[in-house]
Amino acid sequence: MTAVLARSASRAADFLRDHAALLRKLQWGIVLVYAFLLIVPAIMPLPDNAASVFNNLTVVSQFAFWGIWWPFVLVSMPLLGRTWCGTLCPEGMLSEWASEHGQGHAIPKWMRWGGWPFVAFAGTTVYGQLISVYQYPAAVLVVLGGSTVAAMIVGWRYGRSKRVWCKYLCPVNGVFNLLAKMAPWHFKVDETAWRHPVVRIESINCAPLVPLRHMKGAGDCHMCGRCSGYRGAIALTPRSPEEEIVNVADGDPWQTALILFGMMGLAMGAFLWSASPWFVVYKQAAATWLVEHDILWPLLDNAPWYILTHYPELNDSFSWLDGSGILLFVVGAMVVIGGAAFAGLWVADRMLPQVSGAPRTPMGRASLHKLAQCLIPVAGVGVFLGLSATTLTLLKHEGMGTGWANSVRFTLLALAVAWSLKMGARIIAQRHGALWQNAAALAATAIGLVPFVWAWILFFVVW
């Protein structure tokens, strides 16, 4: 069975390699559809309450971007690796195209900073909430269109036929990198064959700047197939979905920050604030205090729409108090949920024998960051659940029943938690502690997830 899968995977990769011209035409087609859905709704009148996906382009665009595209691109990562990035993503394709015709400058040192995936994800998530990116086409144009323009500028400026933006600055590069580690496929490198090539020794262009000879996992690979068969040493190969996280990934402080404080904490706050009665209580208390002290400017809703949501014709405008409240809520969720998960991992790491020679980092021992990798399934399912809430809202607006949703949601969440703890147990076992140490460390890791799980219960059941 494994041999059959390996042959099928190899043929699929060779097909992508041998039909690069056809793939480029497909990518240009996607770019045109993407541009149409991005630009045209932004210059059309806002839809009224009677608008639906059957009679209004803006609603079609909203459903395409937030109901289908983003949730299911996330699903594709642990299933197919970053195939979306390498074969379909309009932003990556445009960045590479601009780089083919650009200035070809060297990549600056500041761009290589490891914290950009976390900062870009956090900044885009928070800004999107402030301008209601899920509701309004102009906000979509600013967030997605702005990212695409930036990708083209970076591509034109740096590298030669490379995807420099995708490698270092794309707001979802870090998330895709993490989720692709669970893919049951990767391009495996046979180092012996590499040293003694028998076929295809001509140079190839790896657009996402992966060091092919030393490629070990699927996190950075865009699965474009260009390197398939290169030097007779690279082939798309099936593997265990746990292989990279348990046996390959070393862990990285910035990836830990993205998993815990970004995907689990900050994203949870972004999904949760609009449904939270706590947010309303805080805002009312703050407004009362401001009025009593004759401080009225925070109550004004005069910010332009590209800073805070401002659509008075729809009775939807954020005051400065609303904006600050959203920021406070999101940061609070990041600290509480991400902090609890980090504390659980820190305690677990301390309970286990220290890895000999393991370096320390500003966020704890390197062994802690290795253990943090086990929470990728939980973090990924959390982001999917939040985005798919928009999908369900749009389906409900079209009259479809969604009574089945909570059963599916909590099943996915339970499976993700179980899988994360299973991989956590495997990583913990590598530390060669006593049985009681391993059990206590796994329990600490599980306890750290309690605020995250409770937040979803509040969101889907209590509130």
pLDDT (tens digit per residue) in 155-199 = 999 999 999 999 999 999 999 999 999 999 999 999 889 988 877
E-state strands within 363-452: 364-365
Tell me if 423 sits within 8 A of 345, measured CB to CB: no
Residue 310, pLDDT above cutoff 90? yes
Tell me if 78 sits within 8 A of 179, measured CB to CB: yes
Burial degree of 315 (CB within 10 A; 0-12, 13-18, 19+):
exposed
Percent of the chain surpassing pLDDT 90: 79
**Matching residue, tokens 């009225």:** 296
- Compute the average pLDDT of residues 312-336: 95
- Compute the average pLDDT of residues 77-101: 95
The predicted pLDDT at position 436 comes to: 95
Tell me if 58 sits within 8 A of 46, measured CB to CB: yes
Residues whose CB falls within 8 Å of the CB of residue 206, separated by 6 or more in sequence, listed in order: 212, 226, 227
- Per-residue pLDDT band for 84 (boundaries 50, 70, 90) equals very high
Residue 295, pLDDT above cutoff 90? yes
The predicted pLDDT at position 440 comes to: 97
- Compute the average pLDDT of residues 312-317: 91
Closest CA to 170 of 264, 85, 74, 70: 85
Residue 359, pLDDT above cutoff 70? no
Q: What are 234's strand-pairing partners?
A: 189
- Per-residue pLDDT band for 358 (boundaries 50, 70, 90) equals low
- Compute the average pLDDT of residues 228-239: 92
**Matching residue, tokens 């559809």:** 33
Residue 356, pLDDT above cutoff 70? no
The DSSP output letter for 300 is -
- Per-residue pLDDT band for 362 (boundaries 50, 70, 90) equals low
Tell me if 323 sits within 8 A of 308, measured CB to CB: yes
Show the tokens assigned to 362.
Answer: 């500003």
Percent of the chain surpassing pLDDT 70: 97
- Per-residue pLDDT band for 1 (boundaries 50, 70, 90) equals low
Residues in the chain: 463
Q: Which residue has the higher pLDDT, 251 or 138?
A: 138
- Compute the average pLDDT of residues 423-438: 95
Distances (CA, A) of 388 to 74, 129, 150, 383: 11, 16, 27, 8
**Alpha-carbon span 52 to 397, nearest angstrom:** 8
3-class SS at 236?
Answer: strand
| Helices and strands per DSSP (H, E), number in the chain | 23, 6
The predicted pLDDT at position 119 comes to: 97
Q: Count CB atoms within 10 A of the CB of residue 15.
A: 13
Closest CA to 166 of 208, 115, 138: 208
- Per-residue pLDDT band for 202 (boundaries 50, 70, 90) equals confident
Closest CA to 245 of 452, 75, 1, 425: 425
Tell me if 234 sits within 8 A of 13, measured CB to CB: no
- Per-residue pLDDT band for 368 (boundaries 50, 70, 90) equals very high
- In this prediction the pTM is 0.94
**What does the pLDDT look like over 35-45, one tens digit per residue?**
999 999 999 99
Strands 364-365 and 185-189: unpaired
- Per-residue pLDDT band for 311 (boundaries 50, 70, 90) equals very high
The predicted pLDDT at position 55 comes to: 85
- Compute the average pLDDT of residues 320-327: 96
Average pLDDT, the chain: 93
Show the tokens assigned to 240.
Answer: 């265990």
Tell me if 383 sits within 8 A of 377, measured CB to CB: no
**What does the pLDDT look like over 107-142, one tens digit per residue?**
999 999 999 999 999 999 999 999 999 999 999 999
